Chain A
Amino acid sequence: NAGVTQTPKFRILKIGQSMTLQCTQDMNHNYMYWYRQDPGMGLKLIYYSVGAGITDKGEVPNGYNVSRSTTEDFPLRLELAAPSQTSVYFCASSLLGESNQPQHFGDGTRLSIL
């Protein structure tokens, strides 16, 4: 059972470049999330989705875009990379239903913008 899979694991971008961080889950979870984690800090929610075709902004959405065309995939797009976007990005998913459902996290993408 693969769970939540993120690619790539590492990436270095130049200022102004664009890229897409991929996230796939095979647990048939309705909810998916993107977080960023700066060094020594907690997780900040960027965007989330409650199902295919539905996305919404989290706490820090500026500079990012998402789409959710299928239940499995939730890519995160950076259009014009800036040094402030250097961070570790985590994708997570959870199940609709019981209130004690935790979020399950991927291994993260470590992104540096130079």
Chain B
Amino acid sequence: GQNIDQPTEMTATEGAIVQINCTYQTSGFNGLFWYQQHAGEAPTFLSYNVLDGLEEKGRFSSFLSRSKGYSYLLLKELQMKDSASYLCAVRPNNAGNMLTFGGGTRLMVKP
């Protein structure tokens, strides 16, 4: 089976740094994706990790440790527009490029 865990909600202050964790137990591993989803909108792609280490993209970074089944998304210099849900998704294998999603973390950024 597939199991992906994320905190349900987090709150942070504008200008601060926040780390959203994701742990996974899946039948295989062929990549991990992070998506951002604003309320009432479609998920949009943020980052991809398949090897251990940190991938940086502007204010957003994503880290992966395959041996620990663990990833995190780091958001720096938080802005009000970063208030959204963040979805962690694992691709267990390459068949059909299918993803298994976690329940998402709703981040609220306060002034």
Which residues of A (78-114) have their CB < 8 Å from a CB of B?
90, 94, 96, 99-108
A101-B104 CB under 8 A given contacts A43-B43, A43-B87, A107-B41 = no
Mask for A38-49, Cβ within 8 A of B = 1, else 0?
001111110010
In the complex, what distance in Å separates the CA atom of A14 from the CA atom of B62?
44
Minimal beta-carbon separation of A90 from chain B (angstroms): 6
Give the size of the chain B interface in residues (CB under 8 angstroms): 25
> B12: CB under 8 A from chain A?
no
Given contacts A41-B103, A42-B103, A108-B42, contact A103 B97 (CB under 8 A): yes
A33 at the interface (CB under 8 A from B): yes
**B: which residues have CB within 8 A of A?**
4, 8, 30-31, 33, 41-45, 48, 50, 87, 89, 94, 96-104, 106
**Chain A residues in contact with chain B, CB under 8 A?**
31, 33, 35, 40-45, 48, 50, 56, 58, 90, 94, 96, 99-108
In the complex, chain B residues whose CB is within 8 Å of the CB of A40: 8, 103-104, 106
A101/B101 contact (C-beta < 8 A), A42-B87, A43-B87, A108-B42 known: no
Q: Which residues of A contact B31 (CB under 8 A)?
A: 99-100
> Given the complex, which residues of B lie within 8 Å of A94, measured CB to CB?
97
Cα A104 to Cα B85 with chains together (Å): 17
Please state if B33 and A102 are interface contacts (CB–CB under 8 Å): yes
Inside 8 A of A33's CB, which chain B residues have their CB? 98
Taking a contact as CB atoms closer than 8 A, the residue among B8, B30, B98, B103 that contacts A45 in the complex is B98
